[in-house]
Amino acid sequence: MAAGVELLISYFAISGDVHPFGPTEISPLPFKDRVEAAARAGFVGFGLHPDDVTATRDQIGYAEMRRIIEANGIKYLEIEAVVDWYKTGEERAKADLLRAQIFEAVNELGMRDIKALPGFEGGEPNIELMGEEFGKLCDQAAATGTEVVLEIMPWSNVRTIEAGVGIMEVANRNNGGLLLDIWHMARGNIPYADISKIPAHFIKAIEIDDALREPPVENIWDDTIHHRMLPGEGELDVPAFLRAVKAAGYDGVYGTEVLSADHRKRGLDEMARRVFESSMAQFAKV
């Protein structure tokens, strides 16, 4: 299966020593250097973060960003992530500022997809409400030919395939679907075989990485942000996940979301090379 596989390196897998919810999420590494390192390693997709995009815009401008992306053969961009897109009041007002920031980048740079996060307030999702609001988000993205992908996450209100599919059925947009990350599937105890329950047109994005089968720490946020591993270095059986995804009908670009305290301290070229080579090695086993 390795022939023809295209890989996208997710933002935090090549941003250096920054991490989600850290003191800053803006990469200390120049945008140009990151894009060039990703391309040298073999990636044709590149992950973006709104705060990092804004900082880079202020330094070099969108025109130069576009030139760097095109010069390095980057075909796919993704940006993460819209939050609280289905809420109201102050939470929604704050979230809409981030949403506007993201759509500025989408309009200027063009994106394959925008990641959308579920809610972390606990409880069961309001499928009808979330579906309607997700549909509106998709409509906003459709103007630039961009997809919106909702990530299933085990400690969120969209922690099951059934909830995710339910939201997609209500939204019913061609450019809206689900993001399946092997880490979240494993930590959510969702068997890979259950991917077959998802209609193929709802599977819009895939991410691979790896982990120990049993969490090395109690806090799941700590686990997901600092203790992921390169594909093949853990115990999650990445090839089995890829086989299930392929059997379900997915044939798009694959994301590589390695969130690791060890990985992010490596040199730029080493970060990119290790993620690319370890990921491609898994496809060779499919």
Query: What residues form DSSP beta bridges with 45?
Result: 8, 76
CA dihedral 76, 106, 140, 123 (to 10 degrees): 80
Evaluate whether residue 24 is within a structural domain.
yes
Q: Is residue 181 part of a domain?
A: yes
Q: How confident is the model at residue 121, as a pLDDT?
A: 87
- Structurally, the chain folds into a number of domains equal to 1
Of the candidates 204, 80, 83, 195, the one whose C-alpha atom is nearest the C-alpha of residue 134 is 83
Rounded to whole angstroms, how far apart are CA atoms 37 and 266? Answer: 13
* pLDDT for residue 1 is more than 70: no
Is 2 part of any domain?
no
What gap in Å lies between CA 132 and CA 136, rounded to an integer?
7
| Residue 265 placed within a domain | no
User: What is the percent of the chain where pLDDT is above 90?
Assistant: 98
- Within a domain: 269: no
First to last CA, the chain: 6
Kindly state whether residue 54 falls inside one of the protein's structural domains: yes
pLDDT tens-digit profile of 41-76? 999 999 999 999 999 999 999 999 999 999 999 999
Helices (H), the chain: 31-41, 50-71, 89-109, 127-142, 161-171, 182-187, 220-226, 238-247, 268-283
Predicted confidence at residue 71, as pLDDT, reads: 99
CATH no. for residue 160?
Answer: 3.20.20.150
Whether residue 267 is contained in a domain is answered as no
Residue 17, pLDDT score: 97
263 within some domain: no
Q: Containing domain of residue 112, as a range?
A: 7-256+275-283
The predicted structure's pLDDT at residue 186: 97
